[in-house]
């Protein structure tokens, strides 16, 4: 069989990929959870997927950067981009530019999710002293829900509930994925703007790898 992360061939029934070290199965009586997974392993898996699909990911990200400035429609493009990366992580195909335009089925729920999150952040900014910190914490707390909407077509309210539940159950893995993923994604923007087409997909893949470990049914 093929490792879903690095695409290398491994033995059928293997629990761990010998090439990238990713957990790809469970042994009898054992359930793999995000808490059991090591972040270094998650990062390696994301890095291997990034390297194996670099050309496709760079092109996809470059086109996204050109069209992401279009108001409202950019929500659909971001959903398409994310869904394309999820497809690559699962070994279901290559990242293609056309993927950017194929996720309108979750547009409404995602728009409501973003609007509600934005309203909450604006309200928090008016809270003295701790308002801005609470706003940053909220950004982190609602981040997983976006993947549930895009991948699982959850409603905005269900996505909020699941996002808070998975953060509460797996705070450290999600925090590491969120912080490292965003730092890497922004590194290309800080160093040289065009560099973001290289770093953004890797940052996104790190968060998607974490989502894959705890995704809802």
Distance between CA atoms of residues 199 and 61, nearest Å? 10
Token digits for 61?
């990200």
**Helix or strand or coil: residue 89?**
helix
pLDDT, average across residues 59-81: 95
Reported as a single tens digit per residue, the pLDDT across 7-50 is 667 766 565 666 655 556 543 333 334 344 589 999 999 999 99
Q: How far is CA 45 from CA 67, 70, 121, in A?
A: 29, 33, 33
Q: Residue 2's pLDDT band (boundaries 50, 70, 90)?
A: confident
**For the chain, the helix, strand and coil percentages under 3-state DSSP, each to the nearest 5:** 70, 0, 30
Residue 181 exposure: Cα atoms within 13 Å on the Cβ side: 24
Reported as a single tens digit per residue, the pLDDT across 138-172 is 999 999 999 999 999 999 999 999 999 999 999 99
The residue with tokens 């590491």 is 176
Distance between CA atoms of residues 90 and 212, nearest Å? 9
What is this structure's pTM? 0.81
For the cut 70, the answer to whether the pLDDT of residue 174 exceeds it is yes
Distance between CA atoms of residues 208 and 216, nearest Å? 13
pLDDT of residue 125: 84
pLDDT, average across residues 70-91: 96
Distance between CA atoms of residues 108 and 168, nearest Å? 26
Total residues belonging to the chain? 217
Distance between CA atoms of residues 190 and 50, nearest Å? 20
Burial class for 131, CB neighbours closer than 10 Å (0-12, 13-18, 19+): middle
Distance between CA atoms of residues 187 and 174, nearest Å? 20
Domain boundaries, the chain: 55-214
Query: Among residues 143, 148, 71, which one has the least CA distance to residue 106?
Result: 148
């Amino acid at each position: 069989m093929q490792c879903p992360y690095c695409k290398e061939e491994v033995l059928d029934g293997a629990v761990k990929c010998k090439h990238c070290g990713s957990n790809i199965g469970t042994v009898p009586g054992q359930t793999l959870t995000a808490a059991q997974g090591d972040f270094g392993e998650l990062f390696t898996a994301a890095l291997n997927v990034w390297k194996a699909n670099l050309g496709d990911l760079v092109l996809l990200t470059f086109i996204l950067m050109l069209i992401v400035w279009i108001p409202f429609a950019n929500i659909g493009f971001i959903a398409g981009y994310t869904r394309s990366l999820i497809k690559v992580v699962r070994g279901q195909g290559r990242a293609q530019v056309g993927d950017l335009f194929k996720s309108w089925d979750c547009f409404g729920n995602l728009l409501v999710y973003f609007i509600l999150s934005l309203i909450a952040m604006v309200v928090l900014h008016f809270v003295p002293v701790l308002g801005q910190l609470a706003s940053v914490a909220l950004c982190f707390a609602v981040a997983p829900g976006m993947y549930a909407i895009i991948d699982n077509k959850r409603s905005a309210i269900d996505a909020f509930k699941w996002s808070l539940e998975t953060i509460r159950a797996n705070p450290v893995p999600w925090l590491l994925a969120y912080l490292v993923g965003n730092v890497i994604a922004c590194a290309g923007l800080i160093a040289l703007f065009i560099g973001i087409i290289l770093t953004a997909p890797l940052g996104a893949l790190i968060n998607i790898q974490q989502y894959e470990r705890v995704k809802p049914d």
